[in-house]
Each structure stands twice: as C-alpha cells, then as structure tokens.
Amino acid sequence: MTPLAQSLAFGILVGGLYGLAAVGLSLVFGVTKFLNVAHGELLMLGGYAGFWFFTLWGVDPFLSLPIVVACLVLMGLVLYKLLFSRMVKLSEENKIKNTLLVGFGLSLIFQNLALRLWTADDRGITTSYSGQAFTVLGVRFPMVRVASLGIALVCLLALHLFLHRTYTGKAIRATVQDWEAATLMGIDIHKVYLLSFVLGAALAGVAGALVSVGYSIQPTMGLEWTLIALVVMVLGGLGSIPGTLVGGLILGVTQSLTSYWIGGTYREIVALLLFLVVLVVRPQGLFGSKEG
Amino acid sequence: MSGKRLVVIALVIAGLALLTVLPVLVQSDSIINLAILALLYIALASSWNVLGGYTGQTNLGHAAFFGLGSLTTRLLWLSVGWPLPLSLLAGGVVAVVFALLVGAPAFKLRGVYFAIGTLALAQVLNMTVGNMFPMITSLPAEYLATYQLAPRYYLFLGLALLTVGTAYVLVHSRLGLGMMAVREEEEAAESLGVSAFRHKLLALSVSAFFAGLTGGAFAFYHVGYYPQFPFGPVWTFDSMMMAYIGGTGTIIGPIIGAVFFVVAKELLALNLLELHLTVFGTLFILVVLFLPGGLVEAWGRIRRVLARRARAREVRLASPEQASGHQTVVGL
C-alpha cells in the first residue's frame, strides 16, 4: 500500500508544477491566440536563472524567485515587442499558425544557445535543506517539493484573484470573451496582449526555477515541457485556472501510476496518449465549455 | 517566353547530368555524403510540402513516417532477409498505412489541434520505439565489407527525383488544385464540391509514402544508428524549416531550402562553433514574419525590382524629358 501511496504523493507534487507550467501557456493562448511553443524554453531559462543565482552568488532558490520573475518579464517584453506584436493583426487561424512557427524558431535558438553556453549536463540546485523530508503514514514528503507545490498553488490563486477581482484582470477577461467589444469599451487590447504575454513568461520562469530545485534541468527540456503544458492545457480546458490545476494533477498522477504499474519509460507515452484521446473525444478539454 | 522555357529545361537537364556523373567526377567521400544528405532533405522537405505547403495542414509529426520507413526497411532487409527494393517499398507502404489509420481521426482536428496532435503522436512513436528497440542497429560484417557510397547516392538521387516529380505532377493535376483550394478556404472548397477530407487524406498519403521511402533509403545508407534516431522531432523541424526558408507551396522551394540548409550548415559548423541552429532559427523566424514566400518570393521580388529599373532606364534613354512621368506609370 505504501509504495502506491508514495507514487500518488509524488504524482500530486509534480502535478502542481505541471499546472503552473500550463497556466502561463493557457493564459497567453486564451487571451492573444498566440500559441507560443517556446514556452518550455522560457521555463528552461527560468530554471537556469535560478540555478546560476544559486551557484554563482549563493542566493537561495526560493529567495531568488522575484529576480527570476524580473528576468523573464524582461525576456517576455523583448520577445513581444520584437516578434509577437507583429502578429497581433493576423486572422485567428494565421495568428496561431505563425506564432507556432515563430515559437519553433525561438525554441531552436534558445536550445542551441543554452547548449553552447551551459553544456548539455543535467543541472539541479542542491541546498542545505534539500535532503529534508517529513513522513505522514509512511509516505515521504520532500520539503522542497512540498514548498514548490505551495508556491505553485499561491501563484495560481493569485492569478485567479487578479483576473477576477481587479479592473485590469477584468479587462483581460473581457478581451478573451470578445476583443472587438472590449476595444469599443475603451480597453487597449495591445496593452492587454502585452500584459498577458509577459505574465505568461513570468509564470514559466517561476515554474522553471521550481523545477531546478526539486528536479533537474537541461537545455533540451523545452520540448518536453511545452508538450506537458499543451497536454495540461487541453486536459483542463482553456480559460479555467482551477481546470488547469486539476489537469496538471491528473497528468502528474497518471504519470506516476504508470511508472508504478508499467514502468518509468512509459510515463511520457501514457501522458501523450491521454492527450490524443482527449483531443479526439473532447477537444474543448475536460472542464472547458464548447466556446473555449 | 518559349525561349525562357527552353533555358529552364536546358538548366534542369544540365543539372541532372551533373548530378548523375557526380560520383565519377568527385572522389571525395565527404562531398558525396554531403550530396546524399542534401538529396535526403530534398525528398523529405518536398514530401512535407505536399501536405504542409500545398494543402495547408501543418504536420509536426513528419518524423514518424520517416522513422517508420527506416524501421520497416531495416528490419525486413537485415533481419528477415527480404531483397532491398521490396523492403524499401514496404517501408513506404507501412508509413501510408499508419498515416491512413491516424489520418481519419487526426483530420477531425482543425488547425492548431492538428499540429499539436501530430507532434504528440510522433513523440509517442518516438518513445515507444526507443523502449522497444534500445539496441543500436549496425550493418552486418558482410555488408560492411562491400559497402559503397555510389549505389546509395543513386538511390537517394532517384528518390529525390521521384518525390519532386510526383509532387509536380500531383499539384498540376485536378487533385492538386483541390488540395490548394482546401488550403485557401476549406468551407468554400467544400461548397464547390471539393471534399476537404479526401484531399487531405490523399496529400497525407503521398506525403507519408515518400517520407517512408526516404526513411528506407536512410536505413540502407546508414551504417549504425539507434532505431529511435530517425523518429526524432528534429527531422520534422528540419524539413519544415527548409520548406519555409525555400518557399512553401512551390516545387522549387524545398529544393532550394534543402540545398541552402546543407551547404550553410557545413560552412557555419566549421566557422561558427556549432551555432548554425541559432542562425537557422533566426532566419526561419524572419521568413515567417517578413517573407512568407521564402527565398522563392525574395528572388521574385528582386527580379521585379531589377526589371522595373531596366525598363525605367530604357524609358529614360529613349526620351529623357518625359522620364519622370513614364517612371510613375511604369512604377504602378
């Protein structure tokens, strides 16, 4: 019983990060219809930012999170101003297609540069408290992963409150519902797009930094995490933050149960098969509405 | 016009003749290997172009067909002992069967979902093959002893010609027009009685068949590799980038893109510390953003500007006093 409970626990712990990784992609896609497939690379950059702050200057990875966010905000700004702002006016179908292609170009560039700058080695942050864990009913909970899950939940809650309680958040949701009507109501949708894109990059940065603490990072991790984020986005349905969290948890638990019952090498395969089934049977996601 | 056409035909024939005698002229193995790589990419990018460029379905899982072709051919040729031509053909057929099996449900997915669905599917296959065939596959000693590059080169040459030729015939046929109609406006095509589903399925099958054959040729060419290697997403992204940089939806585009890619990669890898992927990524983004027609469109633009200048000069020479007036007319 305990090994099963243990893998369930690990599944939930990683599932929270999956949710955090996906919510940025989902926010950007929902608001701007940009499908930024370089999202996984932004995550990778966040991971390396946290890693270098810790390795070079000994900054605690949880304390450096705000600096990582600042770096990714800057990166998001540059990418938006330089590239993505040029695709705002395209029709929806072309917008998705072109941003997807530009995203592939970006992921190639980031991956190649990261490989040259930081080598292909697996990296991870090992702090003085990395080995600590507490045990509940024989199930082990590593402290850093629990803390990461906590931060992921706080981020998701904060985003939810921001979108629902603030004026700016309401403007973002109005743009999702009908951007033309939003424009007529005096909402500057270019600002909304920029804000969403930058927020998405920042969320990817946080997720990446947390991955580098509890797990490991490498320059080629981007595609895997982009796929994870896509899977969770489709599982959870667009535009629902609780749905995205549940999608992340489902994916995390499915993967760890697959490892437990079938074998570790099949965890990604089962995740992708789950994704394909959902795509064909219920393209609007498990929790999404028909309109998306 | 017919004079121009003759020049094009003469150029094509000269090019083909040069390609045919290349192994005799050039003794360097590294150049032949480079030519083989270029021909492989021409076939792969052209086959991607049939579905991605002419039919407008962004397929991010092209590596699956390439991989299936290589896996089938290698297994039948080396393990089962089938003759090579039959093994190659089987590789193409298996890729088509797989394409048809997944094509029907995949085309229910429109646009972006088709793209990420095919990407996910190719990754599933990639990892499954990695799990099932973890050992490297090498040519047996008796094949290695008689290994020659020339037959491999001619196989790839024939394959590239066949792929480009088939694509040419297909897109100049009624079916090809239907494919392009589906790309431009699916609803409008349907309302004119063009079945989008059937045309997509046809384009997918042709695309998969030639990618499978190319994979089979790869299995014949490569001495030793992990069976998972041809399933890697890099094969999809490379061919897609080549088609875009050259010009999607044109016959010559993927050829230009492939040759450009291989030559530039060779030059950049020597001088730029393996940063060629950064250069290609940047180039690819620039093409998507500013030059949707790729290098083919760039050439067209340059030619038009040159022609306009030449005409303006003629006008100026003929009647200097009216030059400015004429120029604006010509400019329009």
**Same-domain check for residues B191 and B316:** no
Q: For residues A26-44, give the mean pLDDT.
A: 90
Q: For residues B136-164, give the mean pLDDT.
A: 88
**Same-domain check for residues B287 and B324:** no
What pLDDT does A290 receive? Answer: 46
Unique residue bearing structure tokens 């760039």: B298
Q: For A129-168, write each residue's pLDDT tens digit.
A: 777 878 888 788 888 888 889 999 999 999 989 988 998 8
Chain-chain contact of A100 with B115 (C-beta, under 8 angstroms) = yes
CA of B202, closest CA in chain A: separation in Å? 21
Q: For B265-284, write each residue's pLDDT tens digit.
A: 888 776 666 777 888 889 88
**Same-domain check for residues B93 and B186:** yes
Q: For residues B188-217, give the mean pLDDT.
A: 91
What pLDDT does B216 receive? Answer: 94
Q: For A272-284, write each residue's pLDDT tens digit.
A: 888 888 877 776 6
Per-residue pLDDT for A40 more than 90? yes
Q: For residues B212-233, give the mean pLDDT.
A: 91
Q: Cβ contacts (< 8 Å) between A106 and chain B: which residues?
A: 281, 285
**Same-domain check for residues B45 and B82:** yes
Chain-chain contact of A111 with B277 (C-beta, under 8 angstroms) = yes
**Same-domain check for residues B251 and B310:** no
Helix (H) or strand (E) holding A136, with range, is: strand A133-136
What pLDDT does B325 receive? Answer: 46
Q: For B87-124, write each residue's pLDDT tens digit.
A: 999 999 999 999 988 877 778 776 677 888 888 889 88
A135's tokens: 């045990």
What pLDDT does A127 receive? Answer: 80
Task: For residue B2, tell me if it sits in a domain.
Answer: no
**Same-domain check for residues B50 and B194:** yes
Amino acid identity at A162: F
What pLDDT does B303 receive? Answer: 87
Per-residue pLDDT for B331 more than 80? no
Higher local confidence (pLDDT), A1 or A196: A196
What pLDDT does A283 receive? Answer: 64
Hey, is the C-beta of B132 within 8 angstroms of any chain A C-beta?
no
Task: For residue B23, tell me if it sits in a domain.
Answer: no
Q: Final residue of a domain: which of B275, B292, B309?
A: B292
**Same-domain check for residues B274 and B328:** no
ipTM of the predicted structure? 0.84
**What CA–CA distances, in Å, run from A291 to A144, A177, A244, B304, B310?**
39, 9, 17, 46, 55
Hey, which residues 266-285 in chain A have their CB within 8 Å of chain B? Answer: 266, 268-269, 272-273, 275-276, 279-280, 283
**Same-domain check for residues B179 and B311:** no
Please count the structural domains in chain B.
2
Chain-chain contact of A98 with B289 (C-beta, under 8 angstroms) = yes
Tell me if B55 sits within 8 A of B47, measured CB to CB. no
Band of residue B78 on the pLDDT scale cut at 50, 70, 90 = confident
Chain-chain contact of B289 with A272 (C-beta, under 8 angstroms) = no
**Same-domain check for residues B71 and B116:** yes
Q: Cβ contacts (< 8 Å) between A87 and chain B: which residues?
A: 289
What pLDDT does A287 receive? Answer: 61
Per-residue pLDDT for B147 more than 90? no
Q: Please give the Cα distance from A161 to B221 (Å, whole number).
A: 59
Q: Cβ contacts (< 8 Å) between B244 and chain A: which residues?
A: 101
What pLDDT does A132 receive? Answer: 80
Q: Please give the Cα distance from B123 to A268 (Å, whole number).
A: 9
Interface test with A, best of B59, B124, B187 (most A CBs within 10 A): B124
**Same-domain check for residues B88 and B164:** yes
**Same-domain check for residues B193 and B65:** yes
Tell me if B256 sits within 8 A of B244, measured CB to CB. no
What pLDDT does B168 receive? Answer: 93
**Same-domain check for residues B139 and B237:** yes
Task: For residue B14, tell me if it sits in a domain.
Answer: no
Task: For residue B66, tell me if it sits in a domain.
Answer: yes
Helix (H, G, I), strand (E, B) or coil at B204: helix
Unique residue bearing structure tokens 């973890």: B134
Q: For residues A223-239, give the mean pLDDT.
A: 85
Q: Please give the Cα distance from A252 to A8 (Å, whole number).
A: 9
Percent of chain B with pLDDT over 90: 35
What chain B residue is nearest to A105 in terms of C-alpha separation?
B281
Contacts of A82 (CB under 8 A, 6+ apart): none
Chain-chain contact of A101 with B244 (C-beta, under 8 angstroms) = yes
Chain-chain contact of A105 with B288 (C-beta, under 8 angstroms) = yes
Hey, is the C-beta of B237 within 8 angstroms of any chain A C-beta?
yes
Q: Cβ contacts (< 8 Å) between A272 and chain B: which residues?
A: 120-121, 123-124, 127
Per-residue pLDDT for B332 more than 60? no
Q: Cβ contacts (< 8 Å) between A273 and chain B: which residues?
A: 124
Please tell me the pTM assigned to this model: 0.85
Is the sign of the CA dihedral B112, A30, A104, A85 positive or negative? positive
Interface test with A, best of B107, B187, B288 (most A CBs within 10 A): B288
Print the domain residue range for B307.
300-332
**What CA–CA distances, in Å, run from A130 to A37, A43, A44, A279?**
31, 21, 21, 38
- Domain coordinates in residue numbering, chain A: 2-220
Q: Kindly write down the DSSP assignment for every residue of A241-253, as one continuous string.
A: HHHHHHHHHHHHH
Q: For B42-73, write each residue's pLDDT tens digit.
A: 999 999 999 998 998 888 899 999 999 999 99
Task: For residue B11, tell me if it sits in a domain.
Answer: no
CA atoms within 13 Å, Cβ hemisphere of B297: 13
